[in-house]
Structure 1
Amino acid sequence: MLFSFLNHLEFEKRYSEHTLSAYRRDLTQFEDFLKGAFGLEDPSEAGHSEIRAWMVDLIEQGLAATTVNRKMATLKSFYKFLHRSGEIQQNPTYKVRSLKKPRRLPAFIQETAIDKVLDEWVYSEDFEGQRDRMVIEFLYLTGVRLSELIGLRWMDLDLQKGEVKVMGKGRKYRIIPLSKSILENIIRYQKLFKETFSNVEESDYFIVRNTREPAYPMLIYRIVRNQLDLFVQTSKRSPHVLRHTFATHLLNKGADLNAVKDLLGHASLAATQVYTHNSIEKLKAVFEQAHPKA
């Protein structure tokens, strides 16, 4: 059943390997819990009470509400698949409710700080130094996710049109425009790439290690953290913070919310609206500073 479900997610839903790994891990943990707590070998025999018991167990382990909800979402997808396939008569997750979670505003970097990261820090002129700069610049100026940057190949970049084709969640493509400044730096990086590795193949990954092999998540995390440590005060220094910063700065400059949604590759407007809070807070600050009766 698990094998069929994961095949369904991979080939019909077209989920990424990262997402598939998360589903596989959650379901394996649930199977282990059923065996240990109830002696059940088959997840199809579990009912609402067993699922609710796992939820309570996860809470008692101290897991965050977002993590518990994600695991419950995995079970809901799994049992929905079993129900539609005729493996079970009733879906035991039908009455499972998600935990309430505190609303957390996305952390972002102030414009003055990101300007220092890009303009004041002296990056070495060798391939590694210019690659590191490109990582920071590309994440901030396009808003791509970490996984999207790692999967990017040279063939996805159209330097003539000034745009990049990105494969996002659900293996859906979107087009992101490239600014004049980043285009110039991409061309410079491309030249250095060619000098370092003798040539540039269309199938080459855009961001690579010194061995020409594709970058891996921890390398990108390390690059971002090392650069942001020098100028940024916030405790969050991850690649995703640069994505948050991209969205927040666009909205602060008056960008249309729907346009930002499309640039980020969000499926719904609700996921983008969280960034509007930061813009509203900025408006409040301007009001309080400038209005005589504030």
Structure 2
Amino acid sequence: MIQGFLQYIRYEKRFSPHTVQAYSTDLEQYALFLRSTYETDDLSAATHSMIRSWIVQLMEQKITTRSINRKLTTLKTYYKFLLRQGTLRVNPMLRVQAPKTSKRLPAFVDERKMDQLFTEVAFPEGFTGLRDRLVLETLYGTGMRLAELVGLKDSDVDLHAMQLKVLGKRNKERVIPFTDKMRELIVAYRQVRNGHFASREKFFVTDQGKSLYPKFVYRLVLRYLGVITTLEKRSPHVLRHTFATHMLNRGADINSVKELLGHANLSATQVYTHNTIEKLKKVYQQAHPRA
């Protein structure tokens, strides 16, 4: 049933390969727990008490509540699938309460630091410098995800309309505009890239002309952000957080930011508004005569 479930979320629900792998790992861990603790290989026979005891074990192993809740989301989706297939009559997850998580605010880079990155940091000469700079400009200038960046095709970049076509989660397409400055960088990058390497489907390539891959981008972002900030977390996703925070701080409509980020729900975008609220509080304290 697990393989049938994984095929269901991949092909019918259109979950990303990364999500499918995460769900597969969660179910393997859950099945191992049931086998070792209750001597059963039948996941459909598990009760709410068994699931609760798994939560307790995960907590004892110091697994974060955020990770535990993600695993419970996997189980919720799995047992709903079994109900749909007629394998189950009662969903054991209905009597399972997820542990509360503390609200984690997204890390972001200050505007002045980002300006410093693009105006003061020295990028290498030639293709490498152009590519590195454009990767950073794209992540910060569009707010796209890492997977969307490495999956970007040459045909997705429209210089005339000044927009990128992005394939997001669950294969949903969206269009993101870009700036005049980014257009100049794209033109320069393409010219040098095409002079060095044969034509490729993917837009971004390595120094050897191969398609960019996630670990490469992680190292690139970590290296350059390390020059301008002491943030402990310096990942491509931090640049996505930074894009959203700066847009909202400068008065962008939250629904517009939601569309640019490709969020399915507005609640996912609202996490960035805390920075806007803090900025308003600061202005209020400085300007209001009774503050």
Which band: TM-score by shorter chain?
over 0.9
Equivalents in 2 of 1:49, 1:100: separation in Å? 18
- Equivalent position SS for 1:93: helix
Name segments (4+ residues, structure 1) moved above 3 Å.
Answer: none
1:138 is matched with which residue?
Answer: 138
- The percent of aligned pairs where both chains have the same amino acid is 48
Deviation of 1:65 (Å): 0.7
Structure 2 counterparts to residues 140-219 of structure 1, below 5 A: 140-197=140-197, 199-201=198-200, 203=201, 205-219=202-216
1:234-269 C-alpha deviation (Å, 9 max, x unpaired) = 222111110011001111110001000000000111
Scaled by the length of structure 1, the TM-score of the pair is: 0.96
Distance 1:31 1:186 in 2: 49
Deviations along 1:152-191, whole A, 9 cap, x unmatched? 1111111111101111111111110011111110111111
Which amino acid is the alignment partner of residue 101 of structure 2?
A: K
C-alpha displacement of 1:211: 2.6
In structure 2, what residue type is equivalent to 1:258? N
> C-alpha separation between the residues in 2 aligned to 1:142 and 1:63?
33
1:3 and 2:19 equivalent?
Answer: no
Unaligned runs of 5+ in 2: none
Q: Do the aligned partners of 1:152 and 1:166 also contact (CA within 8 Å) in 2? A: yes
Is residue 59 of structure 2 the alignment partner of residue 62 of structure 1?
Answer: no
Partner of 2:23: 23
Kindly indicate whether the alpha-carbon contact (under 8 Å) linking 1:190 and 1:200 is maintained by their aligned counterparts in 2.
no
CA displacement, residues 32-63 of structure 1 (integer Å, 9 cap, x when unaligned): 11111111112112111111111111111111
- For 2:152, the aligned partner's letter is L
Residue aligning to 2:234: 237
Q: Aligned to 1:176, what secondary structure does the other structure show?
A: strand
Structure 2 SS opposite 1:230: helix
Q: Retained in 2: the 8 A contact 1:152–1:206?
A: yes
Question: What is the aligned length?
Answer: 291
Equivalents in 2 of 1:200, 1:246: separation in Å?
Answer: 31
Structure 2: distance between partners of 1:98 and 1:38: 22
Q: Which amino acid aligns with 2:53?
A: A
Question: TM-score, with normalisation over the residues of structure 2?
Answer: 0.97
Q: Once the 2 structures are TM-superposed, how far is the Cα of residue 111 of structure 1 from its aligned partner? A: 0.8
SS of the equivalent of 2:94 reads coil
Shift of 1:210: 2.2
3-state SS of 2:131 partner: helix
